[in-house]
Chain A
Amino acid sequence: MTSLVTSPTRTLTYREAIREALQLEMERDANVILMGEDIGDYGGVFKVTLGLLDAFGPERVIETPIAEAGFVGAAIGAAIRGKRPVVELMFMDFALVAADQLFNQAAKLRFISGDQLRIPLTIRTQQGVGSGTAAQHSQSLEALFMQIPGFAVALPSTPSDAKGLLATAIRSDDPSIVIEHKMLYASKGEVPEGEHLVPFGQAAIRRVGSDLTLVSYSRSMQTVLGAAEELAASGIEAEVIDLRTIMPIDWDMVLESVGKTGHLVVVHEGHRTGGVGAEIAARVAELAGADLRAPVGRVCGLDIPVPYAASLESAWLPQQPDVVRGAKRVLAR
């Protein structure tokens, strides 16, 4: 279940909630530093870090050249020496420019060293389609970070989770990536004041149901919750699980729900082949195959690059009717 909310809440945007987590963690621990492109006066291209340079100064909010491998590597070195860098990668796609530093270095140096060091590094980035950013600025690459052991991977779908998951990431002694969604920054929700931590590996049930389990995360949660309402209108009660982190995954919650419903559909923007849904389908089949009354369904981004035109981009993205159709197909088998 979601963490118990004890402090009062107020409405914030996803963007404001992330900024609040950064500010609170920077106030709490002088070793927390921010690094990234245009994150100072400009506040980052999505304005998440706006005002933090003024508040904390240039030794805490460090603007970097356009050199993703270079500044991710520098963050790793600083982390080894006790800093807690929070690196903004402007677009998830740019993680591929820094891939060696992320996957060969950050993900492995603690292990290679025989446990002599820690890398408390947080990568913050955003991904996803919806604004016509085309194939090199729209990719959902979370499955890469799930496949290569090294990073905890969080994908908040709400402002509250955006704050709580980021705070957890910053306090973690191992590398984490918090993947925001570019279409969620203006979304609003209730966010606890003050310290708010959402632990990794704890999914949230966003809707209770008994006929079918829908598992998703990030912006797709909106699509899935819409689909669940549509299904309810035709008498199908879907249980909706927001994974919140895909590494680690809250298998207990997924399996418990599937044990109840016997039907599972995974929904995400990332490509289907080799994606998060493939892992969930395989694991559920391995661990709870007997509970399944039908094969697991997947509703995902198409296995082609993301197109630019609005009509094409919209067709590429799993939409509410796709989820409804996917759910009914699984229930019909």
Chain B
Amino acid sequence: MNGNSLLSAFEQMLTIRAFEERAEQLFYQNDVRGSVHLGIGQEAVAVGARAALRAGDLVAPTYRGHAYALAWGMPLFAAFGELFGRAIGSNRGRGGSKHFADLDRGVLPANAIVAASLPIACGTAFAARLDRREEITLVPFGEGATNQAVFHESMNLAVLWDLPVIFLCENNLYSEMTPIARMSRNVDISERARAYPMPSAIADGMDVTAVAEAVSGAADRARRGEGPTFIEAKTYRFCGHMAGDSEPYRTKEEVAEWRNRDPIDKVRRELQEKGRTSGELEAISQTVSTAVMEAEVAAREATLPSVLDIGLGAANWMEVER
């Protein structure tokens, strides 16, 4: 990544981190309902992928998907608004943390069923191929999703139909609360691609440039009509599977070790090596904090969705009255 791209990635990663840290606190304060699934520590994967793609390319995120929505340009106000269940939320308060959607910016509704977004991503890519549009669908998912049946079905379909889709596996080592090694005899996730056969790459998911390079190669292939690519980004979430996860499945030492590889710190060091001063970077950090805080305050003050409008998005033959 060149200096400007890296600076932009730095700002995006800081924004995502700040948003998610607030989301976690808001959950503990009971300001956010349901569950919140955070990807703190995994920011380089979403931001690196976005940097390698074009405006108009789609993403089909999972419930751990805040980073993708924000990287694709969803306004912080809409993101906080959705967490708070406000009328100005990205989904008008119909989805919450697990379902951020922003179709105008290419964000398909984040999916709360593990691996369910994979065949849907094949479908959006299929439509692009039929219409001869140079549009790619990126579908991120955890390594746990690779044990679902539709993972296999989607990989097969994508190769069979030469679909412009990029399968981006965020291998954070834990399928929700269980080490992947206890759920599969082959933890070399990228090897699975060979069966279809689909080209694959392994990227350091804690390095935004490495992710961007891998996704860029995949995007080139897809735009040349050569079909899908599987990318395994080796990463780690510093937080639990969900806010409130007691994390008995891993040691504090292991988490600390990965925190030493914080992808944001890495970008900060790289920017300093490229001549950016710590003052400049601190100023960006301050700007991000202010933007996140202001968006949160404004979203909190926004109005609730009108109950009269509870049927928004229901088919016209659905009955809305009791």
Contacts and interface: CB of A to CB of B under 8 A. Distances in A.
A73 B122 contact: yes
A77 B95 contact: no
Contacts of A111: 94, 312-314
Interface in A30-81: 33, 59, 64-65, 67, 69-81
Contacts, number: 148
A77 B109 contact: no
A303 interface: no
B95 A76 contact: no
B128 A81 contact: yes
B205 interface: no
Nearest to A111: B313
B123 A75 contact: yes
A83 B131 CA distance: 10
B116 A112 contact: no
B99 interface: yes
Contacts of A82: 127, 131
B249 to A, nearest CB: 26
Contacts of A75: 123
A77 B130 contact: no
Interface in B288-313: 312-313
Nearest to A97: B149
Most buried by B among A75, A111, A113: A113
A77 B315 contact: no
A324 interface: no
Interface stretch (B28-36, B153-161, B237-245, B267-275): B153-161
B103 A113 contact: yes
A73 B130 contact: no
Interface in B137-172: 137, 149-150, 153-154, 156-157, 160
A117 B103 contact: yes
Interface string A171-203: 000110000000000000000000000001100
Interface string B115-126: 010111111111
Interface string A93-124: 00000001100110001111111110000000
Give the bracket for the number of chain A residues in contact with chain B.
35 or more
Given A111-B94, A112-B109, A70 B156 contact: yes
A138 B125 CA distance: 34
A113 B124 contact: no
B55 interface: no
A296 interface: no
A104 B109 CA distance: 12
Interface stretch (B12-20, B85-93, B187-195, B228-236): B85-93
Interface residues of B, number: 46
A79 B127 CA distance: 8
Interface string B184-226: 0000000000000000000000000000000000000000000
Given A69-B149, A72-B119, A73-B118, A113 B154 contact: no
Contact of B119 (A74, A114, A116, A152): A74
B12 to A, nearest CB: 23
A228 interface: no
A81 B313 contact: no
Contact of A69 (B121, B150, B160): B150
Contacts of A59: 130
Interface in A113-170: 113-117, 149-150, 152
Contact of B317 (A79, A117, A200): A200
Most buried by A among B99, B119, B130: B119
A105 B116 contact: yes
A117 B127 CA distance: 15
B115 to A, nearest CB: 9
Contacts of B122: 70, 73-74, 77
A74 B157 contact: yes
A64 B122 CA distance: 13
Nearest to A75: B123
Nearest to A67: B153
Given A69-B149, A112-B99, A113-B313, A74 B93 contact: no
A113 B96 CA distance: 10
B315 A152 contact: yes
B317 A114 contact: no
A69 B117 CA distance: 11
A11 B156 CA distance: 43
A80 B101 contact: no
Contacts of A83: 126-127, 130
B99 A76 contact: no
A289 interface: no
Nearest to A149: B318
B123 A78 contact: yes
B91 A114 contact: yes
A115 B121 contact: no
Interface in B68-105: 89-95, 99, 101-104
A65 B123 contact: no
A74 B126 contact: yes
9 contacts: A73-B119, A77-B120, A77-B127, A81-B127, A82-B127, A83-B130, A101-B119, A112-B95, A117-B109
Interface of B: 60, 89-95, 99, 101-104, 108-109, 111, 113, 116, 118-128, 130-131, 137, 149-150, 153-154, 156-157, 160, 312-318
Closest 4 CB pairs of A and B: A77-B123, A73-B119, A70-B153, A114-B92
